[in-house]
Chains A and B, each alone.
Chain A
Amino acid sequence: EIQLQESGPGLVKPSQSLSLTCSVTGYTITSGYDWSWIRKFPGNKMEWMGYISYSGSTNYNPSLKSRISITRDTSKNQFFLQLNSVTTEDTATYYCARSASYWGQGVMVTVSS
């Protein structure tokens, strides 16, 4: 059974970088699918941030393109999110997901000084 688990700091200061890890078990991230980061803002708004494919190519939401990077460590079956120059508007719950089918439990990140 595939499982995804996000980890990372719950508090980030404005202007700094947000870095999160998604650890995947039950499926090898190089075997198929795209591996995404999605966030939910306070309230109900959801945003697809981007993904790294099983082959290693990336696709980012243009609204974040200058600030986002998604990378992976295939030896650890993990993929990562880095979001630079964060502001309070990046406060959200961050989810990793396999395509749009299986999601992690999410990690709440607050941007505050």
Chain B
Amino acid sequence: DVVLTQTPVSLLISLGGQASISCRSSQSLVHSNGNTYLHWYLQKPGQSPQLLIYQVSNRFSGIPDRFSGSGSGTDFTLKISRVEPEDLGVYYCLQRTHNPPTFGGGTKLELK
């Protein structure tokens, strides 16, 4: 199975600050069709995960432009600018290029 390594495990950020989360894959996530199926989620306390970014850099419906994704191959980054209280929770990356789909271990974002 593809292993996704997320760093850091936890992140202390001030309101209005910027957060950066890394997701590194044990193998390339470029599919044979040329697409890269690496997605980002946020699980807020007491809620189910919500899709933020799909296919590396595309914001899902209703997601503010404070969230941005980048990367290629095996290295990917989620950036959150101007952090707000509603951004707190656990962030996950997910790859669906290879079977079975696998998740990163999660990054907990907390307020400093």
A103's contact among B50, B100, B105, by CB below 8 Å, is which?
B50
Interface residue? B19 (CB, 8 A): no
Instruction: Say yes or no: A103 contacts B49, CB within 8 Å.
Output: yes
Contact indicator per residue, chain A 43-73, by CB within 8 Å of chain B (1) or not (0): 0111110000000000101110000000000
B103's contact among A47, A63, A106, by CB below 8 Å, is which?
A47
Contact residues in B for A102 (Cβ distance below 8 Å): 51
Instruction: Say yes or no: B100 contacts A61, CB within 8 Å.
Output: yes
Chain A residues touching B, range = 10 to 19
List residues 41-59 of chain B with CB under 8 A from any CB of chain A: 41, 47-51, 54
**Nearest neighbor of B61 in chain A, beta-carbon distance:** A101
B92's contact among A46, A59, A62, A95, by CB below 8 Å, is which?
A46
Count A-B contacts at CB 8 Å.
43
How many whole Å from A14's CB to the nearest CB in chain B? 25
Interface residue? B90 (CB, 8 A): yes
Instruction: Say yes or no: A103 contacts B60, CB within 8 Å.
Output: no
List residues 80-113 of chain A with CB under 8 A from any CB of chain B: 95, 100-106
Contact residues in A for B96 (Cβ distance below 8 Å): 100
How many whole Å from B110's CB to the nearest CB in chain A? 14
Instruction: Say yes or no: B105 contacts A44, CB within 8 Å.
Output: yes
Contact residues in B for A46 (Cβ distance below 8 Å): 49, 92, 94, 103, 106
A104's contact among B48, B60, B100, B103, by CB below 8 Å, is which?
B48
Instruction: Say yes or no: B101 contacts A48, CB within 8 Å.
Output: yes
Q: Chain B interface (Cβ within 8 Å of chain A)?
A: 39, 41, 47-51, 54, 60, 90, 92, 94, 96, 99-103, 105-106, 108
Q: Chain A interface (Cβ within 8 Å of chain B)?
A: 44-48, 59, 61-63, 95, 100-106
Given A44-B106, A100-B94, A103-B48, 9 further pairs, Cβ under 8 A: A44-B92, A45-B106, A47-B103, A59-B99, A61-B100, A100-B51, A101-B51, A101-B54, A103-B49
